[in-house]
Structure 1
């Protein structure tokens, strides 16, 4: 079997992917309460580990665990970016569809399957915080870090709940940036310290800036066309990206100001 045919089958046409349908309260993790309870548990665990237990692991134990975790997230991010790209290319009737789903689009098919995987992967990324706390790297434990992880879960839930337009672009972009970011983290965990940390931050900022342009384009399609599915989710995304962009710009200015002076 050729590589392209292999990838198309296992990332797009495999029956579980092709026939996927998001059904609230039936699909695992699809109840309205699930993201709220998940985020509440995440915040409770943070409170316990910072105020009560203060567990720490020695580097000899923590570094192999961190390297394994970074490898898993790197590989998963690559698969999600590739799977969603192939699914979008094979199912989009035109370029307009990539930006603006028709109103009342059902959350089913390969593209929404990868949105579901992306949603669940954000729960796995809670381990970012756990590894930071276990390493006692308090300088990495910031409000931006915690709030980003807490907000992204309900945001991805809204993607599926509203069949939100534009999410394939956001998913592929975010997952691709995560491939670069976790490759950097993996090398650091292995004792190699690449000199492209600033480039990773710049890619994250570029991602959020590009998202504003895509969101504006979607709004134009919605207002001047027949409408786009999931416009309420668009509002949540707009606020989320604006908040992230502000904090990442602040982080870049503080982190690299001294180096440029």
Structure 2
């Protein structure tokens, strides 16, 4: 049994994309490269794949964030801090774009149909191009810890909220669990998240360069849309799991579902407090 509309749409888009002249070139670079094609996640063997590494990484991030936020911090010159922030934003902007593109090309190259895209068969091993890009995605979430350090060094402590620290620490755990359990629907979540991050880090880069674009609210709106899309994807995963022979990583799906619900609540609260208050101030003026 299949979800109506989506399988047909996926098939049409796939047929259109693979016929493009550029697709074969991108496929050679982003899918068929030996290190990508032969990638395999092996717990404790693949770099950064052990439970110890995950635990120490997350606890170190939380501990250093707390300690650095309480102590007197070294003062960096504003031009130097801006330069570091700009390079950081350019790196993550570029990486997010490459991950989204790599995962999309892998989907159209490796995934036969929409059913498989949403619901990996039971017993699927975390190997091949789709899980290579999921692995890079996982590592990128550790690199994003630099966001917190830049906030602390800039002295913008109001931005160092519970939402910020909770999101950065737990998303690493989520990505690890997705890889370790070969969770279904990972490619779709990866692509949507990377697209949002392209927009977000573009905004941060422009702010760092002193441009201050007026579409800050759109960044938060995009993040909220991403969470609602994640709910749709998870709902389809559950549908396929119980109407077919089951999906890979269904237990880890429970953790991710709870995490995304908590993020949706926190981001919605942030959105309401940030933009509702702004609207009131505007009306008062």
Partner of 2:103: 84
- Compute the TM-score of the two structures, normalised by the length of structure 2: 0.89
Q: Check whether the contact 1:74–1:182 (CA below 8 A) recurs between aligned residues.
A: yes
Q: Check whether the contact 2:23–2:105 (CA below 8 A) recurs between aligned residues.
A: no
1:26 correspondence with 2:81: no
Residues in 2 aligned to 1:108 and 1:75: alpha-carbon distance in whole angstroms: 24
Q: Check whether the contact 1:162–1:230 (CA below 8 A) recurs between aligned residues.
A: yes
Partner of 2:180: 161
Partner of 1:110: 129
Query: CA shift at 1:51, angstroms?
Result: 2.1
Query: CA shift at 1:53, angstroms?
Result: 4.1
Residues in 2 aligned to 1:258 and 1:154: alpha-carbon distance in whole angstroms: 33
- Compute the TM-score of the two structures, normalised by the length of structure 1: 0.97
Q: Secondary structure at the match of 1:23?
A: coil
1:100 correspondence with 2:115: no
1:241 correspondence with 2:227: no
For residues 78-227 of structure 1, what are the structure 2 equivalents within 5 Å? 78-227=97-246
Structure 2 gaps, min length 5:
1-20, 281-285
Q: What is the number of equivalent residue pairs in this alignment?
A: 260
Structure 1 gaps, min length 5:
none
Query: CA shift at 1:52, angstroms?
Result: 3.0
Query: CA shift at 1:34, angstroms?
Result: 1.1
Q: Secondary structure at the match of 1:117?
A: helix
Query: CA shift at 1:59, angstroms?
Result: 1.4
Q: Any idea what the Cα deviations from partners look like across 1:43-97, whole Å, max 9, x if unmatched? A: 1211221123433323121001100100000000000000001001111111111
Q: Check whether the contact 1:56–1:136 (CA below 8 A) recurs between aligned residues.
A: no
